[in-house]
Amino acid sequence: MKRVGILTSGGDCQGLNAAIRGVAKGLYEYYGKDVEIYGIQDGYRGLIRGEYKLMQRSDFSGILTLGGTILGTSRQPFKMMRQIEEDNVDKVRNMKDHYKKMKLDCLVVLGGNGTHKTANLLSEEGLNVVSMPKTIDNDVWGTDMTFGFTSAAEIATNVIDCIHTTATSHGRIFIVEVMGHKVGWLTLEAGIAGGADVILLPEIPYDADKIAKVIRRRNEYGSCFSILAVAEGAISKQEAAMGKKEFKAARANMQFPSISYRLAHELGDRLSQEIRVVVPGHFQRGGSPCPYDRVLSTRFGTAAAKLIINKNYGNMVALQKGEIVPVPLKDVAGKLKAVPVDCSKIQAARDIGISFGD
């Protein structure tokens, strides 16, 4: 009897259930009745606490189009995994013990960067682990695409599309804050697709004076409104010059709820137009996965099943140049896939006059 555990960890996104379905159906197709799948509740927290259940085939039916995750999820910071806190729980030991208690042949992990650090840790501790890359940020190293990204990009683009009509009607400046603390893939995608006039990314520090100049020039050319797509992790040139501790202190003492509101204040001091801020927030994580993500999640899921069947553990399934390939967890853990500032998408945006505030 083959025994496989599955957990989803970190922030939720579209396509998690489709990926769970893909790996489960792939295993059932190969092993038939000779496989047991255990659903671990709420990510690594469930593995630490021993909260899991034996899944039935029916549990994986009708979830292809369902958003969120049927297994639940939680954030368990990697830096705390080896620390014994007030509850006196040895997290790593507990995870290993519950893995053995379930008599698992493999643990399947769906998650982003932090999740993959812990997945690699468990692999190094001797557990058989296979993973799938999910995040709306598309910042997992080793894969061209993560599931959840395209669905979130469609939602963020729709927000910008809708903002265009009210911005035009009132001649206003609208700042649309898109998710992405450390990287700007989502903001770049939605900004270009939504026809934003300015796109601000964490990778390209901005100058408020230059943004104001762009807006003034648009007004001179007869465009009475401007749309700014701003990543929540966007930074100014002044902040980019700070040390890590100084930057953290500056952000901790920032008098605005987010960077977009601070930017609105900065532009308000430079321009006479009305400025509004729109923060779609967790809308970007919600709803059904788009067709692309349903297919990608299914491909990842079935590829994970094949890795298990072939006992090819210690790998993450990834999309590279259109093909699904295994990438060693040790090569993925701790690495971030940032937007290259000279990539073709940024160049295409610049070529049509989109400003990056630099």
C-beta separation of 147 from 300 below 8 A: yes
Overall number of domains in the chain: 2
Tell me the percentage of the chain whose pLDDT exceeds 90: 94
241, part of any domain:
yes
Task: Count CA within 13 A, CB hemisphere, residue 348.
Answer: 9
pLDDT in tens, 26-44: 999 999 999 999 999 999 9
C-beta separation of 103 from 3 below 8 A: yes
How confident is the model at residue 118, as a pLDDT?
97
Instruction: Identify whether residues 84 and 138 lie together within a single domain.
Output: yes
Instruction: Identify whether residues 8 and 121 lie together within a single domain.
Output: yes
Q: In angstroms, rounded to a whole number, what is the distance separating the alpha carbons of residues 203 and 176?
A: 18
344, part of any domain:
no
Q: Give the least confident one: 74-83, 188-197, 226-235.
A: 74-83
The pLDDT-based confidence of 232 (bands split at 50, 70, 90) is very high
Report the CATH number that the domain containing residue 197 is assigned in CATH.
3.40.50.460
Cα dihedral angle (186, 188, 194, 195), rounded to 10 degrees? 170
358, part of any domain:
no
Supply 138's token pair. 């598309």
pLDDT in tens, 250-309: 898 999 999 999 999 999 999 999 999 999 999 999 999 999 999 999 999 999 999 999
Taking all residues of the chain, what is their mean pLDDT, rounded to a whole number?
A: 96
pLDDT in tens, 71-88: 999 999 899 889 888 888
Instruction: Identify whether residues 272 and 173 lie together within a single domain.
Output: yes
Active site residues: 137
Instruction: Identify whether residues 32 and 137 lie together within a single domain.
Output: yes
Burial degree of 147 (CB within 10 A; 0-12, 13-18, 19+): buried
Judge if pTM exceeds 0.85. yes
Supply 58's token pair. 């029916």
The pLDDT-based confidence of 92 (bands split at 50, 70, 90) is very high
Instruction: Identify whether residues 36 and 100 lie together within a single domain.
Output: yes
- In which domain, by residue range, is 87 found? 2-147+289-332
Instruction: Identify whether residues 320 and 246 lie together within a single domain.
Output: no
3-class state of residue 330 by DSSP: helix
15, part of any domain:
yes
Supply 75's token pair. 């954030």
Report the CATH number that the domain containing residue 100 is assigned in CATH.
3.40.50.450
Instruction: Identify whether residues 254 and 327 lie together within a single domain.
Output: no
Tell me the percentage of the chain whose pLDDT exceeds 70: 100
